[in-house]
Each structure stands twice: as structure tokens, then as C-alpha cells.
Amino acid sequence: MPELPEVETVRRFLDKSISHSKIVNINIYVPKSIKNASQEDFKLKLIGQRIEHISRKGKHILFILDDYVLISHLRMEGKYFYQKVDDEINKKHLMMEFFLSNGMVLRYLDTRKFGTFHLIEKKQWEKNPLVTKIGKELFDEDITVNYLKQSWHKRKNATIKLVLLEQNIIAGIGNIYADEILFKAKILPTRKIHELCDLEYQAIIDAYREIMAHAIEHKGTTIATFHSQQGVSGNYQKFLKVYGRSKQKCFICGTEIKKIKLNGRGTHYCPSCQK
């Protein structure tokens, strides 16, 4: 699943490509992807809208329009293709097409068809539960040791890996970056929240900011079938220290990287560097 760096890469691509264009027509091939409107209402409200810019909240891509905000979630393998209308495309995975006033088309493809769209009135979008439940992220100054301690107080018996994956406190972290953040912070993924000291909370914050910023710089991590958009692959996988490196030697100490199942997630760590 694309995490914050991958979604931010897509956002930047879309913002550069389609901002200031108008939506002139829409083809919908998978109606269930629209979660809060009928096909007819979806098209009626969107056609004629100008795309002001593309924003992001956590793992959600926000199309900021004249009167509405269209919220797109890529889920596991969703991706956007910005093309000429007659360009070839794999129609088997095609879910939606947005025809634009500049003569181009924005196509959304998803091999698993899990991607979703929510359409919200612009004046209400910041108060919508879909948005308000998303936590703080990256360089938000409100992410402090006290913020994490207070936010995770009721989760004191949960593992640190599990709470990092929850999007309501810190947004954008998935399985890959949770493993990498905890390695950088030198904390075992199996540690319980109540076991962490203030220095370890700060180490998590510092690792989160450093790793996410570095991953964004390198356009995210391209693994399995996920690419951010046509012709663009991230290369942060070259910098991964533990994720996907089971049974290989740790770059720091030479100890074999371990992989376990934790809360149903494959979890990688160094038993020597992490405590």
C-alpha cells in the first residue's frame, strides 16, 4: 500500500499536471468506488469544475475544485495516468476517466479495484469526519513528546508498531516506514507503549521526520506492483535498512535481520540494534 511519501509523490505529479484545468466529462467504470454519491450526482457536480490545486491529508489525495473537494484514496495499488485521449491503457484495470479542458485525460487504474472517491462540498470539507480523523504529520510542530504521550495514554499496552500504523495520531505511516522508523529510533517493534521513555518518544519523532523527508525526496518506495504513476518509480527501496531484508546482515552491526508476524503484519527488525 502506498504510504505518505508515495502519495505525496503522486500529489506533486498531479498538481503540476492538471491544476487550473476544467473537468469536461467523466467515465465511471467501477461505480462502487464512489462512496457518498450516485454516478449521476457525481458527474453532475464535477463536470464543469475547475481544478484549483491538488492537496493531501495523510494518505488521501485532495482535488480542490471550485465548489467541491474530491478525496481519493489509492488503497493497495491505485495509480493515476495523465495521458492523451487516444493513448493505450489497460482497460481491465480502468476505474475512472476525467477528461480535461486541455485535451488530456486523467485515468485512475487499480488492479484490485479497492480505490475510493468521496465528494464533499468545499465549505464543509475540513469538518468532514473522513478528514478530521486523520492525525498530524511530518513537520507539524504539534507532534511533540507530550502530544504522543497524551495521545497514546489509553494504548499503553499496545505495541509501538501497532500504534504507528494507526492513522489518527500520526498520519501516513504504513508497514514499510514503521519498520524503518523503529530501526532508526533503535526501538524493538514489540515494545509496549508504557515501556517507552521520553528520549525514545523523541527518537521516534526524529526518525519519522527524517525518514519520511528522505523517502519523499526519492519519490517513495517502489515494491511489488506499486508505482506512483506512469513512467515514475521511486527509489527509496535502495535505502531500506530492515524492511524486506529478512535473513540478511544488518548494515550497522552485521546481525541477521529478523522477520516476525506482529498483529498480522510482517515485521522486520535487528535484534541487536533495537532494544
| 235 domain-assigned | yes
Q: Which of 11, 57, 59, 79 is catalytic?
A: 59
- Check if 59 is active-site: yes
User: Is the domain of 200 the same as that of 127?
Assistant: no
User: Is the domain of 166 the same as that of 235?
Assistant: yes
| 137 domain-assigned | no
CA proximity to 185, closest of 205, 169, 168: 205
Domain boundary among 110, 132, 154: 132
| 275 domain-assigned | no
CATH number at residue 59: 3.20.190.10
User: Is the domain of 84 the same as that of 127?
Assistant: yes
| 121 domain-assigned | yes
State the average pLDDT for the chain: 94
User: Is the domain of 159 the same as that of 226?
Assistant: yes
Give dist(CA 142, CA 160) in Å, integer: 20
The beta-strand segments (E) located in the chain are: 23-28, 51-57, 60-65, 68-73, 79-84, 94-100, 104-109, 116-121, 258-262, 265-269
| 44 domain-assigned | yes
User: Is the domain of 152 the same as that of 126?
Assistant: no
Give dist(CA 185, CA 183) in Å, integer: 5
Q: Which of 192, 258, 259, 265 is catalytic?
A: 265
Per-residue model confidence (pLDDT) at position 232: 57
User: Is the domain of 116 the same as that of 152?
Assistant: no
Domain count for the chain, please give it. Answer: 2
User: Is the domain of 92 the same as that of 149?
Assistant: no
Instruction: Count other C-beta atoms under 10 Å from residue 189's C-beta.
Output: 23
Band of residue 138 on the pLDDT scale cut at 50, 70, 90? confident
Domain boundary among 85, 102, 132: 132
User: Is the domain of 9 the same as that of 124?
Assistant: yes
User: Is the domain of 9 the same as that of 120?
Assistant: yes
Q: Is 184 in contact with 241 (CB distance < 8 Å)?
A: yes
Which cell goes with 13?
Answer: 505529479
Distances (CA, A) of 27 to 46, 73, 95, 104, 123: 12, 18, 8, 14, 26
| 138 domain-assigned | no
Percentage of the chain modeled with pLDDT above 90: 87
User: Is the domain of 118 the same as that of 152?
Assistant: no
Give dist(CA 266, CA 61) in Å, integer: 26
| β-pair partners for 22 | 50
The mean per-residue pLDDT over the stretch 189-194 comes to 98
The one-letter amino acid code at 55 reads: S
Residue numbers of the domain that contains 248:
145-269
CA proximity to 130, closest of 66, 71, 42, 76: 71
More confident residue, 72 or 140: 72
Per-residue model confidence (pLDDT) at position 90: 87
- Residue recorded with cell 525526496: 217
| 140 domain-assigned | no
The mean per-residue pLDDT over the stretch 184-188 comes to 99
Domain boundary among 132, 167, 192: 132
User: Is the domain of 84 the same as that of 189?
Assistant: no
- Residue range 72-101, pLDDT digits in tens: 999 988 999 999 999 999 899 999 999 999
| Cα 131 from chain centroid (whole Å) | 14
User: Is the domain of 150 the same as that of 121?
Assistant: no
CATH number at residue 235: 1.10.8.50
Per-residue model confidence (pLDDT) at position 225: 43
| 274 domain-assigned | no
